[in-house]
Amino acid sequence: MQPAYQLIKAERELAGRITQLLAQTVVLDVEPLIAPWKSSQRMLDEGIASMLRRVGMLPEVRVLCFATNSAREPSVAPHLPGKQVIYLASARKPLNVEPYLTLPRPGVVIGDQVVTDGLLARRIGYTFLHLRPALRDMPVGPLLLRGGGELLMPLLFAQRKSARA
Ligand SMILES: [Mg+2]
């Protein structure tokens, strides 16, 4: 069985974890994994291109799905030969699960927020790869959300975590 939760301490660990979990679908939160909050259009475009290169080279990955609750969109729809690439703006994580239901499994959701990314992962049965950015880099909105979200951690993930131990 796939683990429900794994903490990622550095972005360079991502490819290894995705491979280990044999993930066919990788759902990627956008901020701050792809581009920092309130960064430029160019940073978003370059962040997407860079992530497509890094995760796109993993042979087992069939679908890359960028999903952000913000309205930000790349200047061109991202694509990669041989892979299905999806970009969801205003994704309404964790409420809207419909876009993921037909994607190949197993899957992972990679993101920084327990209440959006973590809960989405839990709802669709994917592993939550929790990437925790440095506190000093976080604007106050996401920071508050993180504080609240991490209070929920035992509730959301403790059971399956202890089952694994
Ligand atoms: Mg985020």
Q: How far is the CA of 30 from the centre of ligand 1 (A)?
A: 6
pLDDT at residue 130, rounded to an integer: 95
**Residue spans per domain, the chain:** 5-164
Mean pLDDT of 93-109: 97
Distance CA 143, CA 141 (A): 5
Distance CA 158, CA 69 (A): 26
Share of the chain above pLDDT 70, in %: 95
Architecture of the domain made up of 5-164:
3-Layer(aba) Sandwich (3.40)
9 dihedral zone (left: phi>0; alpha: psi -120 to 50; beta): alpha
Q: How far is the CA of 93 from the centre of ligand 1 (A)?
A: 10
Q: How far is the CA of 138 from the centre of ligand 1 (A)?
A: 10
Q: How far is the CA of 7 from the centre of ligand 1 (A)?
A: 15
pTM score of the predicted model: 0.89
Q: How far is the CA of 144 from the centre of ligand 1 (A)?
A: 12
One-letter amino acid of 157? F
pLDDT at residue 142, rounded to an integer: 81
Question: Cα–Cα distances in Å, from 129 out to 21, 30, 45, 118, 124?
Answer: 11, 14, 23, 8, 14
Q: Is residue 71 very low, low, confident or very high in pLDDT (cuts 50, 70, 90)? A: very high
pLDDT at residue 135, rounded to an integer: 67
Is pLDDT at 5 greater than 60 in this prediction?
yes
pLDDT at residue 28, rounded to an integer: 98
